[in-house]
Amino acid sequence: MATIDLHMHSNYSSDGEFAPGQLLEMCLAAGLTHAAIADHNSVRGIEAAILAAAGTDLSIIPAIEMDCTFEGITFHLLGYGVDITAPIFAELEHRLHTQEQAASQVLMDRIRQLGIEFDDEVIAGLAYDGVVTGEMIAEAALLYDDSGKNPLLDPYRKGGDRSDNPFVNFFWDVCSQGKHAHVPMDYQPLSLAVEIIRAYHGVPILAHPGLQVRENVHLLGRILEVGVAGLEVFSSYHSQEQARFYRQAVQSMSLLMTCGSDFHGKTKQSITIGGIDAEGQEAAIVNALIDAIEQS
């Protein structure tokens, strides 16, 4: 188990389960020394996390995970050390939340068109301030079809080949970019996300590059040209080979590397806080990141 986890989500993310204070208790129980709550397009949970960590041995690094696009691909950009009092982050959250509210009905309609049914009252109970996600629909659909009649849901039931993280796997299989139920969003360009993070004293790090870059060295090179300062090398989504590839990349190009689980709670059931092995690099990772934040 690692002593750092620089990527986790509280319930200020629509797909996060636990309040910041609960996350802090879990971080302490896991023996972490450094943690970062990086909610989707939001910094609202960070102050509560810092207050909860006061008087403990756990250091909180302010962070955000921003949705953005580059060459038609959706990426997640982590911003460490950003000024959480800057109004731009509340504006960003509001703009995207409004889009997500409007997209929710379209998403539900498209999933029903596939032949997957669910209870609207259950969805209403799961919704986050009017936002419905693919993970919520997966949870509601599995509850609705608890007798196992719909074969479309078989991969996500206990024992199915996608049952390790059934809710988020359903999202990736059905709702993500390029899939049938995907609802396009108007995300900012990666270059603008980098600019915002740097303008408010943060350090931009590309989250779980193995999911989107997939070791495409030419794509990675073009991404780095817009000012990304480093890569999340150690991730729940990376194989050992991928971690090795991205570690070699950061070392060859003098970039920062980070380590994060992307813990959410029930939407990613197999992911645990501090569950990512950073291969003994925890101290080096934290020290380099803190130095970069102080110089930003």
Whether this model's pTM surpasses 0.85: yes
Rounded Cα distance, 69 and 56, in Å? 38
Give the residue ranges of the chain where pLDDT is below 50. Answer: none
What is the reported pLDDT for 1? 64
Token readout for 221 is 């090179």
Type of residue found at 6: L
What is the reported pLDDT for 2? 83
What percentage of the chain carries pLDDT values higher than 90?
Answer: 99
Angstrom distances, CA of residue 153 to CA of 18, 58, 103, 126, 164? 26, 41, 23, 19, 14
* Ordered strands of the 256-260 beta sheet: 188-189, 63-70, 73-80, 203-206, 230-235, 256-260
- Going from the N-terminus, what domains does the chain have, and what CATH number goes with each? 4-93+188-295 (3.20.20.140), 103-175 (no CATH)
